[in-house]
Structure 1
């Protein structure tokens, strides 16, 4: 391959991979203009993060499920049940908040083991298994709550999704601690990108020029610090954002840097080849569903903390929002393709659009129509790219 053709291939690949990020920036700019800047108001940005955090947590697990070529329709019901379990333990049995939350996570993991058993060892398709789970665990939620809402009676539990860390480093009219945390995040991102670049160079792969590489780091850093400055001027760093950020970093490493992550991609990319290569497909599929429902348990705790109660209808349609976030973020319907970062951007696109339309007073029914069209276009774009690649 000549240097020119390699450069063209690199640019084309980067544009394809960066398309979702460009679209996200365009949507933010558009809604900022038509809402007269209300979208980027510090208080609105903080509320947006807190309001959609549980969907993003679900999307982290869902993208792993989709990469492996499966789907999970039960996560909304699992969110409802785990939230119901934790709140009921505190309200009816006076359990401390941390014990109630841990039991909720354990229940989520056990539900995942139930799904994983039927999918991995019995061979029932994930679509059917989790559809059954959606019905079973929604019914279990009604049983636990006796078909009524139960309020959260522990103020510490409410802080999981509604609390803030601020004032630790001072700041005149802003929270310096928030800026420090995000500055450290930018530095970590730059170091990771540099190491990735050096690794590609070591294997004689084509990389972007140094000026372009530096420009990319600067743009990302400016965007991150601009966001940090906004929320630092509101109430400080939301605790739920720390939880979400930790999960994003952890699962980005798991999917890209661990044997388990490579096996997930192998199963979704070519199941027969993965089996011939010695991948323990049943074990990996089992753990995929355990992980998904465990994260749904975290989302259940966050959602019940945010809403201040456990409700029989909690989590309704959450599975569709999580699935949409993954596909909009670049996951392939056939499996084998997708990233945690892409799923997060896809979820943020949905969040910004919903928030922007709400600010504009758009009726909820029309918001659903727009979301559906965006999802359809995202999947159509994926299908188009595959067909185009197949004709070369």
Structure 2
């Protein structure tokens, strides 16, 4: 029992929101009479929140460094507008337009990163200016009108599905096989991690809890795969999201730049004295945020099949909320990419569930604000308690 108490205490930040996500999904599954987890609705849930999850990955890294970015929604709208001009009006190949759009996002991020990192202007001010600037430029390039439609190949970024190589009609067999492969891979990685911890003399949970954890994770993956397979299979955007999550988790956990990002967020002066080039780290963090903002804008434009002046509205608030709900600290230096994804899914499930229940947008905004306040309050409570 003491081991279980210590496990819960040590992993509250890591697993607390995941458990909360499962409970919220269970609650809305009951309240909506089973509609929430139907294959069609679950697929729509992924598609509707994909662009916010992409932003959350970049935002969590910005917040870890101790900064904030209020401009991501406007950048997404601006890049979406520019991509529409290139693809629809100028008839550039979608692949080339996507590459150019990501480069534009990187340049915007570099512009803001320069003022923040090297000119030492607070990120709040720089990105607030960026929010106004790029929202205005979006209006200018679109001339107040929407541009549509995009070619089918571009739309598939957000609305396409991986093909079933087995060609079955009743169920998407390829999705089932991918789910099984992921289950075996996850089990292998968890066992190897446990063996390494044991070899290095680190404390691990007992065999019973470890196997229970494995069974729970594998069960979730297989059920999720089966539900997706019952509709159209795995969306293309889900593959992209998984690739981004794996890549950025690896960067933050296993690389020098990841350790430097945490060091800058924890104590920038101490990190600089230790040899970390804190200005360069901050600069590249905002370049990365610009690229992911551009990617989010492309995904949203592909899903909407149009570039509109109002695109990206309040995206920045959803991304910030996802990061804090997912365990980021308001003081910087703490947070994980998977945590931001879980936070984004919490917000997405709540939005979807409340919409299915017919709850008005006014109450939805109020409840989301309360959840955000409680998440940050919980973080500050833990910080004060530990100190």
Q: TM-score range by the shorter chain?
A: over 0.9
Alignment of 1:1-392 (within 5 A): 8-390=5-387
Normalised to the residue count of structure 1, the TM-score between the two structures is 0.96
Contact kept in structure 1, 2:166 and 2:174, CA below 8 Å: yes
Q: Deviations over 1:174-220 (max 9, x none)?
A: 10111222222222322332233233223322111122112111101
Cα distance, 1:158 vs. partner? 0.7
Q: Deviations over 1:33-79 (max 9, x none)?
A: 00000001100000110010000000000000011111000000011
Unaligned runs of 5+ in 1: none
Cα distance, 1:5 vs. partner? 7.5
Contact kept in structure 2, 1:152 and 1:158, CA below 8 Å: no
Between the aligned partners of 1:209 and 1:32, the Cα distance in structure 2 is 33
Contact kept in structure 1, 2:56 and 2:344, CA below 8 Å: yes
Q: Deviations over 1:231-258 (max 9, x none)?
A: 1100111111111111111111111111
SS of residue paired to 2:327: coil
SS of residue paired to 2:118: helix
Q: CA RMSD in A?
A: 1.4
Contact kept in structure 1, 2:322 and 2:343, CA below 8 Å: yes
Cα distance, 1:172 vs. partner? 4.9
Between the aligned partners of 1:152 and 1:103, the Cα distance in structure 2 is 19
Unaligned runs of 5+ in 2: none
Between the aligned partners of 1:188 and 1:127, the Cα distance in structure 2 is 41
Q: Deviations over 1:285-311 (max 9, x none)?
A: 011000011011111110000000001
Normalised to the residue count of structure 2, the TM-score between the two structures is 0.97
Aligned length: 387
